[in-house]
Homo-oligomer: A and B are copies of this chain.
């Protein structure tokens, strides 16, 4: 039974609904999947020529799928929600180029596990979103929806931009250095990088077995928690209420001096607005054993990328960007003996990272140096993400402030490994307070 009173008012466009709002309306059949997907497609049609978030959309197929969802039973918590899928993931029926011309025309015959899990939960793949070349630094065409001459960040450029620009409520991404948190920061959306090892990477073009992490983007903590609950297969992720005020560790990190005035201002703003309500704010200093992780992350990534892209480099070297080729050369120059030592240091650092949470529930840390830089200068620096990725800790970027040019600025919360449900609950609590402070 359709209750017209439950429908959003005419002034709210369906594509602007949060994922949770839309999911509720869809589950009650108050809106149809066809209406929602058409609204998203309209947004794409109106904007994507400039934003260039998508590499592939088949509108007819998306509508057809929405129709069959409308006609069938409610399939799961994502029933009828259109999602964007980073073009590093395989999705049956869509081309997959992994951001490289080497894979032009490639059509995988199966879904990545994460895509399959989303579809089983009722999601509808609206299309593939732009990734940088093999998730490294050579940018795709995507622009920052807030200012088109700026970068959306990388490597999950299209997913972050599509969510920020209301083309889709949710999108999938991956992080190896800073490819979820950084574009989330630059585009002003919530980005969620789960604990390493909890979301299957099967069917995602891998570049580093030690670092690659599947995650997602949304416009609220509740939205990434909803999608995260499907990716992890853990309903605890959506129980984001009732934990109360967390004890927050302020972790400026060893790279703090690189944070610009905008990030420092956001930091001060967060500390000030959280100090009233948090159970405690404590300074957390990075111990010496965790100080060199940026260099370690770079070395592990270079070695493993030079292996992961061995075929592409051996068979089509002329199709690789110069920047990527240089990295692969660098990686190949690292001996296995050195890499074994690096993996041992990584394992030791992952153990030691537990100590960071001795006096707090979550860590607050910078997400990026500052606002999104000009697109011509690349996709920005992942320096504030490398260590957390190496440690495999779950991270959530919270957008709550803006910088000198009016572009989004925020901070990330970092949780303990395997405690993604607690991190998301705390992130929900923190985000509510930061957003209020921002409006005030």
Q: Does A344 contact B (CB under 8 A)?
A: yes
Q: How far is the CA of A113 from the CA of B116 in the complex (A)?
A: 25
Q: Does A68 contact B (CB under 8 A)?
A: no
Residues of B within 8 A of A92 (CB): 311, 315
Interface range on chain A (Cβ under 8 Å from partner): 35 or more
From B310, B337, B347, B418, give the contact of A234 (CB < 8 A): B337
Interface of chain A: mostly helix, strand, loop or mixed: helix
The number of times this chain is found in the oligomer is: 2
Residues of B within 8 A of A304 (CB): 200
A109 touches B103 (CB 8 A): yes
Q: How far is the CA of A307 from the CA of B111 in the complex (A)?
A: 12
Residues of B within 8 A of A307 (CB): 113, 200, 202, 233
Assuming the contacts A311-B116, A314-B116, asked whether A340 and B110 have C-beta atoms less than 8 A apart, the reply is: no
B236 touches A198 (CB 8 A): no
Question: A223-258 vs B: 1/0 string, CB under 8 Å?
Answer: 000000000111010000000000000000000000
Residues of B within 8 A of A308 (CB): 113, 200, 202
From B111, B232, B311, B315, give the contact of A311 (CB < 8 A): B111
Q: How far is the CA of A115 from the CA of B106 in the complex (A)?
A: 20
From B117, B209, B335, B347, give the contact of A310 (CB < 8 A): B117
B117 touches A337 (CB 8 A): no
Q: Does A206 contact B (CB under 8 A)?
A: yes
Q: How far is the CA of A311 from the CA of B308 in the complex (A)?
A: 23
Q: For the complex of A and B, list the 9 residue pairs with the smallest distance between their C-beta atoms, beginning with the closest.
A: A116-B311, A234-B336, A340-B418, A200-B307, A111-B311, A116-B310, A113-B310, A202-B308, A110-B311
